[in-house]
Amino acid sequence: MTVELLSVGTELLLGNIVNTNAAYLAEKCAALGLSSYYQSVVGDNEERLEEAVRLALERSDIVILSGGLGPTKDDITKEVTARIFGRELYEDSHTKERIAGYFRHMKTAKVTENNWKQALVPEGAVIVDNHNGTAPGLIIEGEKKTAILLPGPPNELKPMFEETIAPYLNRLQPEGIYSKMIKLCGIGESKAETMIADLMEIQTNPTIAPYAKTGEVHLRVTAKAADKNEADKLIQPVLEDLYRRFGNLIYTEEEELNLEDAVVNILEERGLTLTTAESCTGGKLAGRLVNVAGVSGVFNEGYITYSDEAKNKLLGVSWETLKEYGAVSSQTAREMAEGAAKEAGADAALSVTGIAGPAGGTEEKPAGLVFIGCYLNGHTRVEEFHFTGNREKNRDYAVVRALTLLREELLGDRG
Amino acid sequence: MTVELLSVGTELLLGNIVNTNAAYLAEKCAALGLSSYYQSVVGDNEERLEEAVRLALERSDIVILSGGLGPTKDDITKEVTARIFGRELYEDSHTKERIAGYFRHMKTAKVTENNWKQALVPEGAVIVDNHNGTAPGLIIEGEKKTAILLPGPPNELKPMFEETIAPYLNRLQPEGIYSKMIKLCGIGESKAETMIADLMEIQTNPTIAPYAKTGEVHLRVTAKAADKNEADKLIQPVLEDLYRRFGNLIYTEEEELNLEDAVVNILEERGLTLTTAESCTGGKLAGRLVNVAGVSGVFNEGYITYSDEAKNKLLGVSWETLKEYGAVSSQTAREMAEGAAKEAGADAALSVTGIAGPAGGTEEKPAGLVFIGCYLNGHTRVEEFHFTGNREKNRDYAVVRALTLLREELLGDRG
């Protein structure tokens, strides 16, 4: 069974946005054992879109279209695809009610006439409720080929794919593909690949595929098997081997868990509280911790101290330290972490101070230099990092490194 | 003149990496006034690659291929494209010398026999030196169509494009496409489109295209013209019309500026300082403000007060308020903003308190309910929002709404 991705949107052709949906869908489809030979992007142009959909349906069994389901006149993905399948559009009362409910709930937004366009669906299509927006997903099954239409916004597309499309695609599969993901932090992609080069060399079933993420590496182990039981028997020894090789660098084998979940879980298990003191990340680290819905058990407060004055006033970093070593220094990072822990009465504290760039760097302290401090139960460790990305990327890396550092300290503490 | 992007690489089809090259090239080509109607991704498979290159050359004037120029057997982009243009490959001594020099310079890496494959170039091709790797770029000019081959690694592709390919493409241009983006906040996509439905109905040159972003709408006005001067004459009256319709909802017409830049700019102009008090956003709002490289002039410190205790201790929110109205209330949002401004000695303060979900909601206060407070020069305004996304999206919307609210207050204050 082959699947092809067709992303619809002039903003992709103009390079306004990066096509992260394609990478997401490609990874998910590969994990489901579907072969994919083509991805395309086309704009909101009727003729070219029709041509692209026809070509994709000609050469692949399933075409997943994303984008172009919005309420505006530009949005024509549904109209064009329905026509290719020879289906008329009708107003679906369930979807109309959902759209009305969405706007009632939003209160601030008013439903406009063109929103009802999103309640039009092709005859015979499977309608997939959108829990995060107004455009429903659609599955149009033809005699031999299938088109799956998903809304473009990633926060609508991803949950819809997870909840409904992935199980749907799995049911179509003649034999099963099962996979397990393990996630690593504190190791680079090349290093991780080198450590499993021998396994990758000889792999047939299961296979191992590495995915590089910001500051993380994910390894997906995929097996073909008659059922889940048999797949587990194939995957389990490989997982054990990976645990032998990577040990504590593996922070989870739960697909939906992130590094912040893993860290918060350890803190929760041990009954420890955490606080944060951020300069260059400016709240991004705490913002990421608060992604975890149950964080209130371990996190009560955090400090954003961008200026020297704030570092002194809120965290008690001494003026001597700030003057002698500067705000971006190991000493300041240490005092920030210790001061935050004291102020918040927390068992652990993470501090981040650095030069995110692009300006502000000197020869001695270049842009990308970041100090991260980790206080835990009376002991403080500070690490120095040199990031080479742009401002945004450097700050994202700093957040991941901070979480990784705390996790290391927590696990070292345990051992 | 039309350009089409064809990315070659199995790692893209498997979703191992995000296709940032396509976004980069698309944006650069759009800025050069080249029209682009298609992007494709294909793997390192001879038959499918040939088919994809032929299709691209059929429907576009220039095809930019990226990837598949490496030294391994898998890398066949050059071989396949040369064959389509009927060109033999020969060993280019200049390129061979450059490859040898690269390996001498790298020291750690050893040149292997298959590296010399990268010195083979198609007859009559323009050879573009690669200053960051071993695969040269290639421009193959046919009678009517042109193929441009670039190495896949972004750190090789981007400098090569900037230095050589962009000037080359610019020289080919007979007439250009020029565009201008205006960005709006505080209005939904449907509402915005309704307000310009008449303009979109009659549009030919220039055209207007709306893009929905989280809590924002961007409108791109695109004109075809002989030169930039003529394009400006076409675009300017449309921009003026859009300003008449949307007024202060337009926060910028600078492509590279974001909402946080616009807000920070106003604060800077007026010499005002800002602080933040965040509960459910947990630092995301401040984290976004700190995206602005020059934020240190207006932002010194921020507070993350996730627990009731922290709201009281750090911001002075009264226990009476917390008990009578709850942490998620208009009253608490007000006291958070006012307390933060006082603590930080700031002219303005934004506060966010809400139930991000998925848990924590009640019938009276459902998940998605968020209060945002804005203190400015002695006056506090609090707004109530009902978001309907998941935890992450609700928090992202709250951040945008907070920035929008402050901007409204700042502009209202001015008027």
pLDDT in tens, B4-17: 999 999 889 988 88
Which pair of tokens denotes residue B394?
């609700």
- Phi/psi at A172 (5° precision): -75, -15
CA distance B209 to chain A (A): 8
Q: Does A36 have pLDDT greater than 60?
A: yes
- Averaged pLDDT for residues A264-288: 98
Mean pLDDT of A207-217: 84
Q: Give A199 or A189, the one with higher predicted confidence.
A: A199
- Is pLDDT at B105 greater than 80 in this prediction? no
Query: Measuring CA to CA, which residue among B75, B76, B133, B129 is closest to residue B109?
Result: B133
Q: Is the pLDDT of residue A342 over 80?
A: yes
Lowest mean pLDDT among A102-116, B247-261, B281-295, B298-312: A102-116
State residue B414's pLDDT score. Answer: 41
**B379 DSSP β-pair partners:** B376
C-alpha–C-alpha distance, residues A383 and B368, integer Å: 38
Q: Are the Cβ atoms of B302 and A304 closer than 8 angstroms?
A: yes
User: In this complex, do B191 and A109 lie within 8 Å of one another by their Cβ atoms?
Assistant: yes
CA distance A74 to chain B (A): 8
CB contacts < 8 A, A to B, total: 282
Residue A280 reports pLDDT greater than 50: yes
- What value does the mean pLDDT take over residues B227-255? 94
CA dihedral B252, B256, B262, B268 (to 10 degrees): -130
Residue A213 has pLDDT above 90, yes or no: no
What's the pLDDT band for B173 if we cut at 50, 70, 90? confident
CB of A45 closer than 8 Å to CB of A12? no
Element (H, E) at A314: helix A308-315
CA distance A164 to B350: 39
Q: Which residue has the higher pLDDT, A129 or A222?
A: A129
Coil/strand/helix, residue B171: helix
B39 or B72: which carries more pLDDT confidence? B39
Q: Which among B16, B23, B209 has CB closest to A17?
A: B23
Give the CB-side neighbour count of residue A256, counting CA atoms within 13 A.
Answer: 6
Q: Is the pLDDT of residue B224 over 90?
A: no
Give chain B positions within 8 Å (CB) of A190: none
Q: And the tokens for B85?
A: 């243009």
Q: Mean pLDDT over residues B317-326, rounded?
A: 98
Enumerate the residues of chain B whose CB falls inside 8 A of the CB of residue A303: 301-304
Omega into B206 within 30° of 0, i.e. cis? yes
Residue A189: predicted pLDDT: 75
- The pLDDT tens digits of the residues spanning A108-118 come to 667 888 889 99
Whether residue A381 is predicted with pLDDT greater than 50 in this model: the reply is: yes
> Which of B295, B310, B360 is nearest residue A300 as measured by Cβ atoms?
B310
Contact A41 B45 (CB under 8 A): no
Q: What is the mean pLDDT of residues A276-290?
A: 98
> For the residues A85-112, what does the mean pLDDT come to?
88
More confident of the two residues A225 and B395 = B395
CATH level 3 topology of B259-414: Maf protein (3.90.950)
The confidence score (pLDDT) of residue A374 equals 98
Share of chain B above pLDDT 70, in %: 97
CA-to-CA distance for B1 and B173, rounded, in angstroms?
7
According to the model, what pLDDT value does residue A415 have?
35
- Write the DSSP string, A240-272: HHHHHHHGGGEEE--TT--HHHHHHHHHHHHT-
Q: Please, which pLDDT band fits residue B415 given cuts at 50, 70 and 90? A: very low
E-assigned strand segments in A71-168: 89-91, 120-122, 126-128, 137-141, 146-150
* Burial environment of residue A240 by CB neighbours within 10 A (0 to 12, 13 to 18, 19 or more): exposed
pLDDT tens figures, B126-144? 999 998 889 999 999 999 9
The tokens describing A346, both together, are 């927390």
Q: Cβ contacts of residue A229 below 8 Å, gap of 6+?
A: none
DSSP three-state, residue B366:
coil
Report the residue from B23, B28, B300 with minimal CB separation from A19: B23
Axis-axis angle for helices B259-270, B391-414 (nearest 10): 30
- Beta bridge pairs of residue A222: A179, A207
**CB neighbour class for A46 (10 Å; exposed up to 12, middle 13-18, buried from 19):** exposed
Q: How confident is the model at residue A338 (pLDDT cuts 50, 70, 90)?
A: very high
Q: What is the pLDDT of residue B174?
A: 66
| pLDDT-wise least confident of A89-93, B109-113, B259-263 | B109-113
How far away is chain A from the Cα of B52, in angstroms, using its nearest Cα?
A: 9
ipTM: 0.78
| Residue-by-residue DSSP string for A344-372 | HT-SEEEEEEE--SSSS--SSS-TTEEEE
The answer to whether residue B296 scores a pLDDT higher than 70 is yes
Average predicted confidence (pLDDT) for chain A: 93
Chain A residues inside the 8 Å CB shell of B256: none
Among A29, A110, A289, select the one facing B282 at the smallest CB separation. A289
pLDDT 10s digits, B55-85: 999 999 999 999 999 887 888 999 999 999 9
Nearest-by-CA chain B residue for A294: B359
B289 vs A301: CB contact, 8 Å cut-off?
no
Mean pLDDT lowest for which of A47-51, A58-62, A111-115, A332-336? A111-115
**Spatial contact of A334 and A373, defined as CB atoms under 8 Å apart:** yes
Residues of B in contact with A308 (CB under 8 A): none
Residue ranges in A144-227 assigned as alpha helix (H)? 154-160, 166-172, 189-195, 197-202
What pLDDT score was predicted for residue B129? Answer: 96
The yes/no answer on whether domain B176-252 falls in CATH 3.30.70.2860 is yes
Interacting residues of A326 by C-beta distance below 8 A, sequence separation 6+: A332, A365
B109 — pLDDT class (breaks 50, 70, 90): low
Strand partners, B207: B222
Kindly tell me if the per-residue pLDDT of A190 is higher than 90.
Answer: no
Is the pLDDT at B54 greater than 70, yes or no? yes
Q: Which of A42, A45, A392 is opposite residue B291, by nearest beta carbon?
A: A392
Which residues in chain B have Cβ-Cβ distances shorter than 8 Å to A301? 303-307, 309-310, 313-314
Q: How many other CB atoms sit within 10 Å of the CB of residue A257?
A: 16
Class of domain A3-172: alpha beta
What is the per-residue pLDDT for A414? 41
Q: To 5 degrees, how large is the angle CA B126–CA B130–CA B133? A: 140
pLDDT for position A336: 98
> How close A14 gets to chain B, by Cα (Å)?
5
pLDDT at A92: 97
State the average pLDDT over residues B339-343.
98
Query: Distance (Å, rounded) from C-alpha B166 to C-alpha B159?
Result: 10
pLDDT at B108: 59
Average pLDDT over residues A212-219: 86
SS3 A7: strand
**pLDDT mean over B311-335:** 98
Give every CB contact of residue A360 below 8 A, 6+ residues apart in sequence.
A367, B293
Q: Distance from B219 to chain A by nearest Cα, in Å?
A: 11
Chain A partners within 8 Å of B15 (Cβ): 22-30, 211
Residue among B41, B220, B389 minimizing CB distance to A155: B389
Question: Is A176's pLDDT higher than 80?
Answer: no
Task: Give the number of other Cβ atoms within 10 Å of residue B281's Cβ.
Answer: 32
Taking CB atoms and an 8 Å limit, are A28 and B20 in contact across chains?
A: no
Nearest-CA residue of chain A relative to B392? A291
Which of chain A's residues have a Cβ under 8 Å away from the Cβ of B45?
37
pLDDT, tens digit, for every residue of B380-405? Answer: 999 999 998 889 889 999 999 999 99
> Which chain B residue shows the shortest CA-CA distance from A218?
B16
What is Dmax (Cα atoms) for chain A?
A: 77
Say which residues have a Cβ less than 8 Å from residue B131's Cβ, sequence separation at least 6: B159, B160
Can you give the pTM of this predicted structure?
A: 0.79
Q: Where are the domains of chain B?
A: 3-172, 176-252, 259-414
State how far the Cα of B70 lies from the Cα of B50, in Å rounded to an integer.
Answer: 17
Rounded to whole angstroms, the Cα distance separating B140 from B5 reads: 15
Do A12 and A38 meet the contact criterion of CB atoms below 8 Å apart?
Answer: no
Cross-chain Cβ contact B16/A212 below 8 Å: yes
Task: Report CA dihedral (B264, B269, B272, B278) to the nearest 10 degrees.
Answer: -10
CA Rg value for chain A: 25
